[in-house]
Chains A and B, each alone.
Chain A
Amino acid sequence: MTPLLELDDVEKHFPVRDALGRSRGAVRAVDGVSLSVPEGGVLAIVGESGCGKSTLGRVALRLIEPDRGAIRFQGEDLRRLSGAALRARRRDMQIIFQDPFASLDPRMTVEDAVAEPLILHGTVPRARIRDRVAEMLVRVGLRPELARRWPHEFSGGQRQRIAIARALASGPKLVIGDEPVSALDVSVQAQVVNLLQDLIRDLGLTFILISHDLGVVRHIADRVAVMYLGRIVEEGPAPEVFANPRHPYTRALLAAVPGQGTAAPPLEGDVPSPISPPPGCRFHTRCPHAAARCSAEVPLLLGAGHRAACHFADTLPPAAPLREADPGGERLRRLQAFFRPPPAQTGAMP
C-alpha cells in the first residue's frame, strides 16, 4: 500500500551568520530523515527542543523548503509542484500550532477564521459556508452561537478548539499537530486530547503529532519516531518503543519522565549545539554505553518494524521497565470513571 506521506532522505540546514554577515556554519536542523506514514496512521515525532522535530513537520508540508530529499504525498513529489497545483494540494494538508493565542488573528471573528480555508480552497459553495462553520464548531465541542465572537473572548482550551475547527474545515487528509496541547492546563489538555482522538477516528485522519510530552504521545500515537540533533534515532510501534526502547537516548528520555521515582540517575550534560554536532553517533557524548566506534562511525537506522540507530542496539542490556507507580489502585479508577464522559459523537465527514 502506498503511504499517504513519505519523506525520503530529507535535509534542512539553516545558515548561521555573525553580526558582520560572515558565515558561521549551519544549524543542521534536519539531517537525512526518512519516514513514512500510512493512511489513517498516527505518527508521533518526539525529542527535546532543538532536535529538529518542528522543522521536520514544516518541511513535510513544504512550509519550509528542504535543501535535499523528496516529500511524497499519495506518491506525488510535493517538491515538483508549484503555484496552483501546490495550493490545491494544501487543502489536503493542515497544521495545528502550539499557541492558540498566537495562531488566531485577533481581528477575525471565529466564523471568519474557520471560513477562511473554505473560501481559499473553494471547498463548499459560498451559500453553504455559514452552515459548514457551525457544523465544524459543533464537531469540536463549541456552541455555534459563538461564531460571531472574537478570539479574545475565549479561554486557551476553547481557542485551541477553534484552531482545530479551522484546520479541519477544508477536509484535509493529513493533519500535523505541533505541540497542540502543550500550552494547555492539565484538565483542559485532557479534553483536547480526547477531542483529537475522536476526530482522528471519526474522520479517518492521518495525523503527525509533534510533541515532547511522552504521556500524550503514548496515548494518541500508534507509531513513534525519536529525534536527536536532526536525526531519527529510533522508530517503531508506540507500545513497542515504550516497553522495549532500543536506543540509549530513548531509554534516557523515558527514564527522565517524572513520576517514576528518583532511582535512575539523570542523563548528564546538555544537548550539544546543532551547529557542530558530535561526529559519529550524535548521542555518544552523553551515552552511558558509548565505545570507540560510536565517535567514529555514524550508526544507521536498522531493523524491521522497530528500527534503532545504535551500533549496539542488539547487544545492550534489556531496558529498565517503566516504573510508573499506581498507588491509587482500584478505588481511584472507580472514582475517575465518573470523570470519563462517553465519546463525543463527532460523526463522519459529509
Chain B
Amino acid sequence: MTVPALTIENLSVEFATDRGSLRAVDGVSLSVAPGRTLAVVGESGSGKSVSALAVMGLLPGSARVGGHIALDGEDLLALPPEALRARRGGAMAMIFQEPMTSLNPAFTAGEQVAEALRVHRGLAPAAAFAEAVAMLERVRIPDAARRARQYPHQLSGGMRQRVMIAIALACRPRLLLADEPTTALDVTVQAQILALLGQLKRETGTAVVLITHDLGVVADHAEDVAVMYAGRVVERASAATLFARPEHPYTVGLLGAAPRLTGGEGRLASIEGTVPDMRNPPPGCRFAPRCPFAITRCVAEPPPLAEVAPGHMTACWRAPLAQVLGAA
C-alpha cells in the first residue's frame, strides 16, 4: 500500500452567518495516493468545494477549520501562512471551473505560467518564459510559442483551461485539486481536457482530486470515489465498485437520476425534496428525509461511515442494501 499524498481526517469547516453558524463540512475523512484520481461527487452545498479550499488554505479568515490535513505527512493546518503560501502553487495546486476568472486578463498566457516558475522554482525571467512555452506545449496547445504571447481573451475556453493546467502543473505538484474543471466547457472540449489531465497524471505521478457532479466523468476518469451529501462523506469505494454495487441510498438515487444515452424506462429515478438547510440539518442521517428506505433509527441517530465490504465504506443504517431488497 503506497503512502497517500493527501490525507484528510475528520475535517470540519464552520462559517458564521448572520442567521447562525453553518457547518459546511462535518467530519470528512479522505485520502489520495500518488498517481491516482479520487473523484469527490456531490451536488451544490455538499461541501466538496469547501473541503478542497480548506486543503489549499484558501477559505476566508472567518471560517473555523478543524481536524487534520496532511500533504506528504506534513500537517497543513499547523503551517504558518508564509509556508502555506509556498506549498500553494508549489507542492499543491488547484484549477477551477471558470478559467476566464482565474486568469489575469492583463498578462499574456506565457507570462502567467512563467510567474509560477519564477516564484516557486526561482527561474530567471528568460528561462521561466522558455519553460512556460514548453509547458504550454505539454498541455497540447498548438503553436505554443505564439499562444504564449496572447492574452486570455484571445484564447478559447478550452485553451484557457489548458493554460490553467499548465500553471498548476508548472512546479510539478504532488497534489492537484480540480474543482469542476470542465463544467464550463463544451462536451467535445471537455473530453480533450479530461484526457489531457489523465495523461499528465500518469506521466508525473501527481495525486488528483477531481471534484465533479458528473457521474459519467467519474466512471471514465477516477479510480476512487467519495460521495458527499450535506457536508458528510456518505460512501467511499473504488469507482468500479461504486457503479456496480452502490451501498448508499443517495448514490443509488443519483445513479438513476442521470438520463441515459441509450434511453430507458419512462421516468427518471428522482430524489424527492431538496438538500437540507445546513444551518439546521436533520439530527440523524442527513439524507433520511429524502430516503425511501429510512427507518426510525435513521431519523434519530447519524450513521457512521463503516466498511460494508473490503475497501467499501458507507454511512447507512440499512446497509448492506440487500436486506431492503429481501424485504421487498
Contacts and interface: CB of A to CB of B under 8 A. Distances in A.
A189 B257 contact: yes
Nearest to A193: B268
A266 B188 contact: yes
Given A186-B258, A216-B259, A325 B219 contact: yes
A270 interface: yes
Chain A CB within 10 Å, residue with most, of B156, B213, B256: B256
Nearest to B268: A190
A340 B267 contact: yes
B263 A219 contact: yes
Nearest to A189: B257
Contacts of A252: 188
Interface in B249-302: 249, 252-272, 274-275, 292-293
A33 interface: no
Interface in A213-247: 213-216, 218-219, 239, 242
Chain A CB within 10 Å, residue with most, of B214, B253, B267: B267
A317 interface: no
B256 A215 contact: no
Chain A CB within 10 Å, residue with most, of B191, B192, B216, B264: B191
B246 interface: yes
B219 A157 contact: no
A343 B259 CA distance: 17
A99 interface: no
Contact of A48 (B188, B217, B249): B188
A200 to B, nearest CB: 12
How many of chain B's residues touch chain A, expressed as a range?
35 or more
A212 B190 CA distance: 13
A332 interface: yes
Nearest to A187: B271
B321 interface: yes
A254 B70 CA distance: 41
Nearest to A269: B142
Given A190-B270, A259-B216, A324 B261 contact: yes
Contacts of B275: 185
B261 A191 contact: no
B158 interface: yes
B196 to A, nearest CB: 9
Contact of B259 (A193, A239, A328): A193
19 contacts: A48-B189, A187-B270, A188-B274, A190-B270, A193-B268, A194-B270, A214-B187, A219-B263, A253-B187, A258-B190, A258-B219, A259-B215, A259-B219, A261-B220, A267-B191, A322-B261, A328-B246, A332-B255, A339-B292
Which 3 A-B pairs give the minimum distances between C-beta atoms?
Answer: A259-B216, A258-B216, A266-B191
Interface of B: 43-44, 156, 158-159, 186-192, 194-195, 198, 213-217, 219-221, 240, 243-246, 249, 252-272, 274-275, 292-293, 321-322, 324-325, 328
Given A190-B257, A193-B268, A266-B192, 13 more contacts: A48-B187, A49-B186, A186-B215, A190-B268, A190-B270, A219-B263, A259-B219, A270-B189, A271-B156, A328-B246, A338-B328, A339-B257, A339-B269
